[in-house]
Amino acid sequence: MIKNLLSSLVVYLVSALSSPVLITAEPITGNAANGKEPYFNHGCYACHGYRGIGKHNIANDVSGIMMNESVFLIFLRARSELNPPLPFQGMPHYPESSLADAEALDIYAYIRTFKDSPPLAESNTTLQAIIRSAQSQHQAQ
């Protein structure tokens, strides 16, 4: 079962790479506002933060997995073994029986609203002071 899903993921990704325009053009059909509740109820926030920023970043659309709904759905369904033999901290498997497609697509739309916008290095006065200090020490040598 998992092997089948993984091989369809590989087939999908290979065809995706050969037609990048087609794939990125796929529309977002889920409802972002409705996705907020299931994002929390299904525990996504625990590993991905309240806004997709943290240990495993999913904000800013940078992930290939987040490129469109189809890849995202395949990814959710093709997660780790259902009963890992050891304590496991990887991303859980989300079968359709526990997270329906429609709900997953709402979560997808919600995640796509996440933006990670850290302050620019130039506006961080402490960082600038550290850099100036390091530069003056370097010049003094």
By CB under 6 A, residue 30 contacts ligand HEC: no
User: CA geometry: angle at 104 spanning 100 and 110, to 5°?
Assistant: 150
Q: Which is nearer to ligand HEC, 33 or 134 (by Cβ)?
A: 33
By CB under 6 A, residue 20 contacts ligand HEC: no
By CB under 6 A, residue 92 contacts ligand HEC: yes
Give CA–CA dist 68/81, Å, rounded.
Answer: 24
Binding segment (CB under 6 A) for ligand HEC, from list 1-9, 19-27, 46-54, 113-121: 46-54
By CB under 6 A, residue 94 contacts ligand HEC: yes
Q: Which is nearer to ligand HEC, 37 or 136 (by Cβ)?
A: 37
Q: Return the CA Rg of the chain.
A: 20
CB-based burial, 109-134: b 16+ in 10 Å, e otherwise? bbbbebeeeeeeeeeeeeeeeeeeee
Give CA–CA dist 48/111, Å, rounded.
Answer: 10
Q: Which of 89, 91, 110 is nearest to 31 (CA)?
A: 110
By CB under 6 A, residue 47 contacts ligand HEC: yes
Give CA–CA dist 58/44, Å, rounded.
Answer: 10
By CB under 6 A, residue 63 contacts ligand HEC: yes
Q: Which is nearer to ligand HEC, 43 or 84 (by Cβ)?
A: 43
| Near ligand HEC by CB under 6 A: residue from 6, 10, 46, 134 | 46
Q: Which residues bind ligand HEC (CB under 6 A)?
A: 42-44, 46-48, 56, 58, 63-66, 89-92, 94, 107
